[in-house]
Amino acid sequence: MSEELSFDILHTVLDSAYEGIVIVDKQARIIHFNNAYSRITGIKKEQALGQPVTDIIDNTQLHMTLQTGQAERGKIQVISGQEMVVHRIPIWRGEEVVAAVGMLIFEGVSELHKILEMHQEKERKADKALADSQKKNKKQMVTLDQIIGKSKEMSETKRIARRAAKTLATVLITGESGTGKEMFAQSIHQLSPFADGPFVSVNCAAIPEHLLEAELFGYEEGAFTGARKGGKPGKFELADQGTLFLDEIGDMPMIMQSKILRVLQEKEGMRVGGLKPYRTNVRIVAATNKELEQMVSEGGFREDLYYRLNIIRLHIPPLRERKEDIPLLLSYYVKEICERYLASPKHFTEEAVKLLTAYNWPGNIREVVNIVERIVSLAEGEEISATDLPSMVLRHQDSHAPVSFSGGETTEVLDTVRKESMEQEREVIINVLKETKGNKSQAAKKLGIHRSTLYEKLKKLQIK
């Protein structure tokens, strides 16, 4: 390539660069001054070329770079009244510095600082809001009696939870998705010696691997680019004297598994970029829907951490293994959702309950909530019958349902539902009557039923 051509190419590249670039010869005269530099400083190229750099650029140090031969990177320099980040790089030929390059990296560092500060301020506010809502939520946290289920399986699970809560031991909650693991974790906290402390929850699957350590253990100011001023406490610090809920622990990367294990053993944590460890006294409750034992045998989960976590095991059986709980859940959620949506009260027909009970509920209770929500918003009458059910429920009928609908057990289950929904209906009507101060026409209107229907109901439900 001819020298001329390389020179042209170099010029084009320099001129199209986004950064401001100035090059001086060994006498500190400007030999190149690119478009960006001109745009940023407002100095014309013709004015600059051939002039001593010290005459053209405020506060320049480029002549010093020629003398020292030292590169400087990321220095702040005030140019045209604005702080900017600059690099200064000497060009050596043999033993001699023959030129120096100055680069302006950011236009208006102060802008950048402002954006960064705004962002940090936002984060601080969000943290505070979270802390406040956690305080407020304390009373709204789930307790064991809000966990619906009277089946043998559920009663046993609750019994274990109650006993586990009283101890200081780590609890490992397992169960399919939507079985209520988070509800149990909160209930355990409420009944535990740590109930006065915070309940802090971390979803190990939702946080990118490289941020997880900072999230769990906190970081010091300047620990990495983007680390905010004053650093940030980690979840282990925030949960001190309370419960730390490690949700989806099966998704924790191996490297973090070792770090968690160390904290559990030594009760000491260390912030990213920190020098001194801090003490931490937290009760760990972990949950997963993965088969941890299998992960251990396949090398995906540390065996020693598994044993540390699995001190008390709380397994929540899937809904299809405790079908008696289905009617209870249906009647609870239909009432709750109607109230929440300000819809007139509804109830399931016997047949609908039968079909819903025979469904296999792969999404467990979360699916119950979703399906009831869908039905309530679509069904028009106050009765929810088989035709109102999603086709999926009709398609996936479990022929080996432990509760058959021919025996005495069935009648019992349906009786429970009937009683519950009658009680619920009774309660709603009484409340509406209270609101209308006993005016039945108004009450019927509010309930969205005919007055004669209301009279029938009052008689049937023995409301005076």
Ligand X SMILES: Nc1ncnc2c1ncn2[C@@H]1O[C@H](COP(=O)(O)OP(=O)(O)OP(=O)(O)O)[C@@H](O)[C@H]1O
The Cα 169–Cα 264 span in angstroms is: 11
User: What is the footprint of ligand X within residues 181-220 (CB under 6 A)?
Assistant: 181-183
Bridge partner list, 283: 243
- Evaluate the CA torsion angle 274, 280, 282, 287 in order and state its sign: positive
Q: What's the min distance (Å) between Cβ of 285 and ligand X?
A: 12
Q: What's the min distance (Å) between Cβ of 366 and Mg ion?
A: 9
Q: What's the min distance (Å) between Cβ of 365 and ligand X?
A: 4
| Chosen from ligand X, Mg ion, none, partner binding at 149 (C-beta under 5 to 8 Å by type) | ligand X
Bridge partner list, 200: 244
User: What is the footprint of ligand X within residues 112-151 (CB under 6 A)?
Assistant: 147-149
Which of 85/319 has CB closer to ligand X? 319
Strand residue runs (E) in 30-139: 30-33, 72-79, 82-93, 96-104
b/e burial code for range 110-127 (CB count within 10 A of at least 16 → b): eeeeeeeeeebeeeeeee
Bridge partner list, 92: 97
| Chosen from Mg ion, ligand X, none, partner binding at 38 (C-beta under 5 to 8 Å by type) | none
Name which position in 20, 90, 102, 178 contacts ligand X (CB under 6 A).
178
Interface with Mg ion, residue 251, by CB under 5 A:
no
The Cα 431–Cα 1 span in angstroms is: 92
The Cα 344–Cα 341 span in angstroms is: 9
Strand residue runs (E) in 94-215: 96-104, 171-174, 199-203
Interface with ligand X, residue 327, by CB under 6 A:
no
Q: Which two three-digit tokens encode residue 323? A: 């079908």
The residue number whose beta carbon is nearest to ligand X equals 180
User: What is the footprint of ligand X within residues 156-175 (CB under 6 A)?
Assistant: 175
Candidate segments 16-24, 178-186, 204-212, 394-402, binder of Mg ion by CB under 5 A? 178-186
The Cα 282–Cα 290 span in angstroms is: 24
Task: Please report, for residues 296, 327, 359, 364, 456, the alpha-carbon distance to residue 181 in angstroms, rounded to integers and kept in the order given.
Answer: 21, 20, 22, 11, 43
Interface with Mg ion, residue 336, by CB under 5 A:
no
Which of 293/456 has CB closer to ligand X? 293
Q: What's the min distance (Å) between Cβ of 185 and ligand X?
A: 8
59 burial type by CB count under 10 A (0-12 exposed, 13-18 middle, 19+ buried): exposed
The residue number whose beta carbon is nearest to Mg ion equals 182
Q: What's the min distance (Å) between Cβ of 181 and Mg ion?
A: 5
Interface with ligand X, residue 365, by CB under 6 A:
yes
Q: What's the min distance (Å) between Cβ of 420 and ligand X?
A: 14
| Chosen from ligand X, Mg ion, none, partner binding at 432 (C-beta under 5 to 8 Å by type) | none
Candidate segments 40-48, 83-91, 164-172, 365-373, binder of ligand X by CB under 6 A? 365-373
23 membership: H or E segment, kind and range: strand 20-25
Which of 54/177 has CB closer to ligand X? 177
Residues 223 and 180: beta-carbon distance below 8 Å = no
User: What is the footprint of ligand X within residues 76-105 (CB under 6 A)?
Assistant: none
Quick note: the x/- pattern for Mg ion over 133-172, rule CB under 5 A, is ----------------------------------------
Nearest to 153 by CA among 397, 394, 403: 403
Name which position in 177, 310, 397, 416 contacts ligand X (CB under 6 A).
177
Task: Please report, for residues 168, 217, 221, 261, 267, the alpha-carbon distance to residue 214 in angstroms, rounded to integers and kept in the order given.
Answer: 26, 5, 12, 16, 17
Interface with ligand X, residue 366, by CB under 6 A:
yes
Candidate segments 133-141, 177-185, 343-351, 376-384, binder of Mg ion by CB under 5 A? 177-185
The Cα 224–Cα 272 span in angstroms is: 9
Q: What's the min distance (Å) between Cβ of 429 and ligand X?
A: 25
Interface with Mg ion, residue 182, by CB under 5 A:
yes
Candidate segments 6-14, 77-85, 175-183, 386-394, binder of Mg ion by CB under 5 A? 175-183
Residues 175 and 322: beta-carbon distance below 8 Å = no
Q: Which two three-digit tokens encode residue 173? A: 């909650």
Which of 273/363 has CB closer to ligand X? 363
The Cα 124–Cα 129 span in angstroms is: 9
How many residues bind ligand X, per CB under 6 A?
15
Name which position in 60, 289, 331, 421 contacts ligand X (CB under 6 A).
289
Residues that bind ligand X (CB under 6 A): 147-149, 175, 177-183, 289, 365-366, 369
Residues in contact with Mg ion by CB under 5 A are: 181-182
